[in-house]
Amino acid sequence: MSSAHWTLAVIAAGMLALSAPCAEASHSPEYPKKHKVFYHFNDGGVEKARAMLVNIENHLQVVGWKNIEALELVVHGPALRTFLARDIDPEVRGKLETLLAGGLRFDACQITMTRQKIDPKDLLQGVTAVPSGVARVMELQEAGYAYVKP
**How do residues 71-80 score in pLDDT, each as one tens digit?**
999 999 999 9
At the second CATH level, the architecture of 27-148 is: 3-Layer(aba) Sandwich (3.40)
**DSSP character for 67?**
G
Whether 62 has a pLDDT exceeding 90, the answer reads yes
Type of residue numbered 25: A
pLDDT tens across 80-112, in order? 999 999 999 999 999 999 999 999 999 999 999
Q: Looking at residue 38, what is its pLDDT?
A: 98
What is the domain partition of the chain in residue ranges?
27-148
Three-state secondary-structure class, residue 127:
strand
Alpha carbons 97 and 30: distance in angstroms, whole number: 32
Q: Is 48 exposed, middle or buried (0-12, 13-18, 19+ CB in 10 A)?
A: middle
Q: What are phi and psi of 129, to 5 degrees?
A: -80, 130
